[in-house]
Structure formats: C-alpha cells, structure tokens
Amino acid sequence: MKRLLILMVSVLMLAPAVGEERRLIILHTNDFHGRIKQENEFAGAARITAFVNQVRENNEAVLFLNAGDSISGTPVSTLFEGIPIFEVMNMMGYDAAALGNHEFDHGFRQIEKFRDIANYPLLSINAYSPNGELLADAPLLVKDIAGIKVAIIGVITEQTPRMIIPLGNEDIYFADPKEAVESAVSGLCGKVDVMIVLSHVGHEEELVLARETNCIDVIVGGHSHTVVDPGVMVGQTLVVQAGKYGSHVGIIELNVDTKTNKMLSVKSELIPAKELPGPAPEVAAAVKAWTDRVAGQVDYEIAKVSRDYSKEELQIILEDILADATGAEFGFYNMGGIRDILRKGSVTARNIWTIEPFGNNLVTIRAKGSIVRRMLGKGQDDPHRRAASIDNDRTYLVATNSFIGSHVKKDDPDAVEITYDQALIRYVIIDYIKEHGLQ
C-alpha cells in the first residue's frame, strides 16, 4: 500500500495546470477474463473500482481503459456467456474497451449483446462481420476530458480466427492491424491532444507498432498477458500492459500542451492487486450476487494436493487423462487452453473450471502423422516432444479438445476423421481426479 500512497500523493501535489499545460491520468487493465471475484493474487472488480474512484475523486482528467478479453476464464463468465462480466464492468467506470479474441468465444453475434449491455463503447477498427459491418460499436472514440482532446483507437490481432471456435464465427474477418491503425492515425494526427491505441495484439507486436507508426502517444496493450512495469518508451510512444486477470492496474500520468499537442512529460507504473484499497461495497455486492448463482455447481472438493502444479505439469496430466478416457494412443492439449495453475490444498470443481473455462468437448482425431505433427506444433507445444518420433505416413488416434479438433478438421477436412464425445473436458478431468487423485 505504501507505493500506492506515494504515487497518489505525487499526483495530487502537482501544481494545478496553467496556461495550455494539462494533466491527464490514464488507468488501464487488460485480459480480465471474467475474474470479477477477488482471489489469490487477483484484485477482483470491487477493489479495482475503489482505486479508480479514489483517482477520479482527486483528479480532474481521468480516463479508464480496458484492452480486451473481458470474458472467459471463470464459471460465472462461462455459464452465463459473458453477460455478468459486462454488467459488473459497467459499475467499474470504464470509458472504453477494445474487443479481444475471447469476446468471440460464444460466436460473434454474442458481441451484439455485450454492446447492448456495456455503458461504454467497445472499440475495434479491424474486426468485421461476414457482410462487412464493423463488429464493434465504433473503430475509435474522440473524447474531450476536462479540455483535453483524446483519440482512442481499438485494434485486435488479425490472428483471431486461429484462436476462436469456428462455429458461430464463420466468415468474419480481420484487417491488418498496423495498416488499419496507420490509416486512422494519419487522419487524426495534429487534430487531437493525445493519441491512444487500445490494442489487443500482444506486447511484441505493440512495440513494432510503436516503432513504425508516427503520432501515437500511448499504446495500452493486451493479449499477451505481459507485465510491463514501468512502461516502455519507443521513440515518442509509451507502450504499457498490465498482466492479466486483474493482477495489476496501470496508471499513466501525461502532461500535455493542448496548444501544440506536444507531450511535455510521461510516466507510468503498475499497481499490484495487493496494494489496492478495500473493495467498493456496491460492486462487491454485485459480484457476490453473480458468483453465488454458480456456487452450488462448482464449490465442492474433489481432491487435496500437497503442492502447486504449474501449467506445464498440468498439460501433461490433462493429456494423459484424455488419452485414458478415449483409449487413444496419446493426448494433446494446447498450452493456451490451460488458463490457471493448481494450488496446494483443497482442489474444488471451481479450480478445474478456471483451468479449463471454455466448455470444450472431448474429441478424438484420426489422421496421418504429417497432420498430427503439425497439430503438435513441431514440439513447441508438446511437453513429451513426440513430434520428432511421429511417422508422417502412419495413422494415429489422438485425444484432444474440440477447439483443437475443429481447427485441425478445418485445415484438412478430407484427411481428418474427428469423433465428438458429448462429455465436456472439465467434467472428464473432475471425474478422473475424484477417482484417481493427482500424483
């Protein structure tokens, strides 16, 4: 808490703006993934709200942004298809958010419901429906904040189709992020005081965007779950990202000359969840109301473990469970589909839901080794390093999840035989652990 107090005092003690110099405070989060409840090292919506309220009460010009992937990661998000998350985030005071790839987890038409619920705009300049309509509320937002003219451009990774379920997302498309941003920036450069890109393309790509695009003052990033503290200056552009799940809240202080549109000073920091103030009561009540609705389905013990399990360890365990459940030669589980670790102590069904929050079904794939080798990512995502021993001409039976299965089938429709099981992956895992425990 000490670091937060020092930062707050430094902001409050700055001299009032004189002449054309104005101060803008930008608060930011990203990749919230439905973590509205405070748990472990994650702040929860109520504590983040309390911090935002503190800053707003003591500063005239404050902007609160979220860089995408608001949903998918908790039972309350999955069971209600993201609706509670946007209802709670309404109470948090966001001014704008980018669309992330996980906003497509229930099909792109669900985004229309998110847009109806959200009392702040969802932005994306490069995501389009099959008929060419923008899938966001708008590509960008120009907003006057206490006399400071701010442009906020939303953008999403063009790799989104490879990261989302094909079902319900047919024929949507994503323009090149850099080209789309450059076009918007060129039309706004010199016409606003602060140019912000609200990005869900990942930190490395955001650094490239900053290096190769003029006139951007700040890139508030997301997608890669990167903790960037302090922010990175790339030329005249500040690039920031605040981890994941509400582990941090970012705070940026800009001093700008509104007469010349010049940045006079920039500084940024991430505030860890443990240093945030106590929860805002009204938000805490809303979070409890939603989480109580799923408690009966997830808050029961299935095992006890004597140590923590990393994502890498869980990947091997999950693959073995899937293979055991289907009689396949081996299992494959993509690391990106494992969204949490397993912590020492009581293991509940909720823990498994947070590890596998997407509602994937169990599937088997029968295909030639050349296709299986490609699925394994040439060993990069294969903890057993089986890719090197795969015979390209031999046919294999592999157990995996329906997300992977649907993409493998889409890539080679005539060469892949896929069998869908009605069982959800999370329940296969829960049943196995209840019966066998964990090593």
Q: Per-residue pLDDT tens for 83-96? A: 999 999 999 999 99
What pLDDT is stored for residue 405 in this prediction?
93
264 and 402 housed in the same domain: no
Burial of 170 (0-12, 13-18, 19+ CB in 10 A): exposed
Is the distance from CB of 293 to CB of 98 less than 8 angstroms?
no
Name the pLDDT band for 13 (thresholds 50, 70, 90). Answer: very low
Name the pLDDT band for 262 (thresholds 50, 70, 90). Answer: confident
Domain range spanning residue 22? 2-290
116, part of any domain: yes
323 and 216 housed in the same domain: no
335 and 397 housed in the same domain: yes
Q: Does 7 have pLDDT greater than 80?
A: no
280 and 317 housed in the same domain: no
Q: Does 4 have pLDDT greater than 70?
A: no
CA 285 to each of CA 288, 291, 298, 403: distance values in angstroms, whole numbers, following the listed order: 5, 10, 20, 35
Domain boundary pick from 266, 290, 314 = 290
384, part of any domain: yes
Quote the Cα angle for 299-71-51, to 5°.
90
What pLDDT is stored for residue 15 in this prediction?
39
Is the distance from CB of 290 to CB of 84 less than 8 angstroms?
yes
Name the pLDDT band for 9 (thresholds 50, 70, 90). Answer: very low
* Cα–Cα distance measured from residue 94 to residue 102, given in angstroms and rounded to the nearest whole number: 19
96 and 225 housed in the same domain: yes
306, part of any domain: yes
Q: Does 108 have pLDDT greater than 80?
A: yes
115 and 189 housed in the same domain: yes
**Least confident stretch, 135-144, 217-226, 272-281, 371-380:** 371-380
What pLDDT is stored for residue 384 in this prediction?
73
419, part of any domain: yes
pLDDT in tens, 21-40: 899 999 999 999 999 999 99
233 and 309 housed in the same domain: no
Mean pLDDT calculated for residue range 397-410: 94
pTM of the predicted model over 0.85: yes
150 and 52 housed in the same domain: yes
Average pLDDT, the chain: 92
Report the percent of the chain where pLDDT is more than 90.
Answer: 87
154, part of any domain: yes
Domain boundary pick from 238, 272, 290 = 290
Sheet holding 361-368, edge to edge: 330-331, 395-401, 361-368, 417-424
* Cα–Cα distance measured from residue 97 to residue 411, given in angstroms and rounded to the nearest whole number: 32
342, part of any domain: yes
Name the pLDDT band for 183 (thresholds 50, 70, 90). Answer: very high
What pLDDT is stored for residue 22 in this prediction?
93
Q: Does 218 have pLDDT greater than 80?
A: yes
pLDDT, greater one: 421 or 182: 182
249 and 330 housed in the same domain: no
318 and 283 housed in the same domain: no
143 and 208 housed in the same domain: yes
pLDDT, greater one: 421 or 271: 271
What pLDDT is stored for residue 380 in this prediction?
62
Is the distance from CB of 342 to CB of 305 less than 8 angstroms?
yes
Q: Does 386 have pLDDT greater than 90?
A: no
Count of structural domains within the chain? 2
CATH number for the domain harbouring residue 399: 3.90.780.10
Quote the Cα angle for 38-1-69, to 5°.
40
Which two tokens mark 178?
Answer: 């850099």
Which two tokens mark 424?
Answer: 């959800």
Mean pLDDT calculated for residue range 328-340: 93
CATH number for the domain harbouring residue 149: 3.60.21.10
Backbone angles phi, psi at 170, to 5 degrees: -65, 135
281 and 315 housed in the same domain: no
Which two tokens mark 241?
Answer: 């990202």
Name the pLDDT band for 378 (thresholds 50, 70, 90). Answer: low
295, part of any domain: no
Name the pLDDT band for 17 (thresholds 50, 70, 90). Answer: very low
Domain boundary pick from 237, 270, 290 = 290
* Cα–Cα distance measured from residue 157 to residue 186, given in angstroms and rounded to the nearest whole number: 20
